[in-house]
Amino acid sequence: MTALAIRNASVFYPVPGKAPVHALKDITLDINEGDFVVALGASGCGKSTLLNLIAGFMAPSKGDIRLGDRVVTGPGADRSVVFQKHALLPWLNVLENVAFGLKIQGHERRKREEIARGFIKLLGLEQFEQSATYQLSGGMQQRVGIARALTSDPDILLMDEPLGALDALTRERAQELILKIWRDTGKMVFFITHSVEEALFMGTKLVVMSPRPGRISHVFDLPFSRRYFETGNAREIKASADFIALREKILQIIFTDEEGAHHE
């Protein structure tokens, strides 16, 4: 069964006094149960636009997006977004931030704290429940953002370069944590990154996009996260021969796209 279906979606951004920007052209993509779909591509190729369509923050100029049997017409609790810059509320502590969406949905305090505590534990933040979020490191703030995104029990988690601002070591640990959460919760994931290594390591399906207009140029099925669950050794997988070969192939694709765009 196809859970999320994007069919021939195109986006034109109007620009006053100029031709519209053709940000996405004819995007067709399925995200099925159990999929961790990663979108990779040069800056400006429409990755965030695609995520915003799925989130329902904007509507496609052409085409449509369905989740199950419903057409996406706006934001909903069945899709949660995690941004690069956490969007936490500085006047609330960790527990209140994680429980915030549940409060908006009208859950009473005891219920929402119980749900929030479950996700705080899942993200390894038990000791920081009462902390102010601005006192936490960037990696921990992102974990709070992920915990909050999970509280609405969405079908799909949408992540726009969630690890882009983290230092290298924190980033690698966060990759492993997100993979475990994906496995343990069974959520579908749509994940945007600039990093080829991150994309290959995390995804079950890799979507390579190219710019002007933004479109999907290649799709690859990936074996590496499954291998990680077998061995538990991320570095070994990232250093393996088939991983490196595919990494170089994809870098070639992206560089060729870039050069093509500059010669237009």
- Contacting positions for ligand ADP (CB under 6 A): 13, 15, 21, 23, 43-49, 214
CA dihedral 151, 155, 160, 166 (to 10 degrees): 50
Q: Which of Mg ion, ligand ADP, none interacts with 23 (beta carbon under 5 to 8 A by kind)? A: ligand ADP
Half-sphere exposure of 202 (CA within 13 A, CB side): 34
CA distances from 79 to 3, 69, 112, 159 (A): 12, 15, 19, 11
Closest CA to 257 of 69, 45, 115, 82: 45
Strand partners, 159: 82, 191
CA distances from 203 to 125, 165, 179, 196, 231 (A): 25, 20, 9, 11, 17
Q: Which of 48, 52, 142, 210 binds Mg ion (CB under 5 A)?
A: 48
In the complex, minimum distance from the CB of residue 47 to ligand ADP, in angstroms, rounded to a whole number: 3
In the complex, minimum distance from the CB of residue 163 to Mg ion, in angstroms, rounded to a whole number: 14
In the complex, minimum distance from the CB of residue 202 to ligand ADP, in angstroms, rounded to a whole number: 18
Q: Which is nearer to ligand ADP, 24 or 234 (CB)?
A: 24
Q: Which is nearer to ligand ADP, 200 or 208 (CB)?
A: 208
Number of residues that bind Mg ion (CB under 5 A): 1
Backbone angles phi, psi at 118, to 5 degrees: -60, -45
Q: Which is nearer to Mg ion, 96 or 160 (CB)?
A: 160
Q: Which is nearer to ligand ADP, 23 or 120 (CB)?
A: 23
Contacting positions for Mg ion (CB under 5 A): 48
